[in-house]
């Protein structure tokens, strides 16, 4: 057995941790895709599989591939789950990003009904404290680095508010700037946990219906089963959106600390202006 000096062992351990850290984002994505794909395909097969497959005939080339090994059908099923789950999770991520962009600048206090405020608080990409802090810090950053001249104080206030809104919008597009930094792993972990919970929550009612159908649950018992599952799914979806909020709030607090700057802040610090015309206006 070879004996290595302590510095060499430390290097090996650092490389091993770096390799594991680089693999974790992909493994988390595969976990969510495989789980949701398996739930979707399994539920659909229980509900409609007998009708869809009653006239299926396997042709000779496909039969030859399937008969290569007893594990080939399992591998093909796993690939199908990954494919369906990946398409589902990609669509879900796009939907969440769209909702976050639409709700980013909406003021919760202006909503009249409690239900509207509760829904907006659940789908908002930032916590109340993170949004308040990043807004204050963005305005201070503007006052410190802006070189533009204003005709009156009202124009300066409008420009300051516009810059704060632009910094908020930049927070949703900072994933690329986190690559290779110490912030990448926590951010990716929060988002992955949110994707897993939200993706699972949306398919739980379908799973409950398929389970009831498979066990011959009928009438009010089936309604009760699906109803309870919907309540559980709503709570799980709320937890999923909470993890998305933690991810964006995590980045927002580090931007407020100056650990990382948004593109708008970098441009203002480097040039002193927001627009190419040097009037201080955003293009």
167-209, pLDDT tens digit by residue? 999 998 888 888 878 888 889 889 999 999 999 999 999 999 9
| pLDDT tens profile 80-100 | 999 999 999 999 999 999 999
Instruction: Give the closest residue to 196 by CA, choosing from 32, 10, 23, 9.
Output: 32
Indicate whether 275 pLDDT > 70.
Answer: no
Instruction: Take residue 174 and report the two structure tokens written for it.
Output: 């900072």
Indicate whether 213 pLDDT > 80.
Answer: yes
pLDDT for position 4: 46
The end-to-end CA distance of the chain, in Å, is 65
Indicate whether 38 pLDDT > 60.
Answer: yes
Q: Please tell me the pTM assigned to this model.
A: 0.80
Radius of gyration over every alpha carbon of the chain, rounded to an integer in angstroms: 25
CB 188 within 8 A of CB 177: no
* Alpha-carbon span 146 to 47, nearest angstrom: 62
Region 245-262 average pLDDT: 92
Give 129-159 as a DSSP string.
HHHHHHHHHHHHHHHHH-----SSHHHHHHH
Indicate whether 25 pLDDT > 70.
Answer: no
Model confidence band, residue 24 (pLDDT cutoffs 50, 70, 90): low
């Amino acid at each position: 057995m070879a004996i290595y000096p302590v510095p060499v062992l430390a290097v090996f351990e650092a490389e091993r941790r770096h390799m594991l850290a680089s693999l974790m984002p992909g493994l988390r994505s595969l976990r969510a895709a495989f789980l949701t794909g398996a739930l979707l395909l399994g539920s659909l097969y229980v509900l409609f599989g007998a009708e869809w497959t009653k006239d299926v005939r396997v042709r000779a080339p496909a039969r030859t591939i399937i008969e290569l090994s007893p594990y080939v059908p399992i591998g093909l099923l796993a690939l199908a789950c990954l494919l369906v789950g990946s398409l589902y999770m990609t669509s879900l991520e796009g939907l969440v990003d769209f909702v976050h962009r639409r709700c980013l600048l909406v003021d919760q206090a202006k909503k009249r009904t409690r239900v509207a405020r509760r829904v907006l608080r659940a789908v908002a990409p930032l916590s109340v404290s993170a949004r308040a802090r990043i807004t204050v810090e963005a305005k201070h950053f503007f006052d410190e680095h802006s070189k533009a001249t204003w005709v009156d104080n009202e124009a300066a206030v409008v420009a300051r508010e516009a810059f704060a809104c632009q910094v908020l919008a930049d927070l949703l597009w900072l994933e690329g700037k986190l690559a290779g930094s110490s912030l990448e792993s926590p951010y990716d972990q929060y988002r992955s946990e949110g994707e897993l919970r939200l993706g699972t929550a949306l398919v739980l009612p379908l799973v409950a219906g398929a389970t009831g159908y498979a066990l011959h649950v009928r009438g009010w018992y089936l309604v009760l089963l699906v109803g309870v599952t919907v309540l559980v799914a709503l709570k799980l979806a709320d937890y999923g959106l909470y993890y998305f909020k933690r991810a964006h709030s995590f980045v927002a607090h580090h931007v407020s600390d100056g650990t990382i700057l948004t593109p708008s802040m970098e441009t203002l610090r480097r040039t002193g202006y927001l627009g190419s015309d040097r009037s201080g206006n955003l293009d």
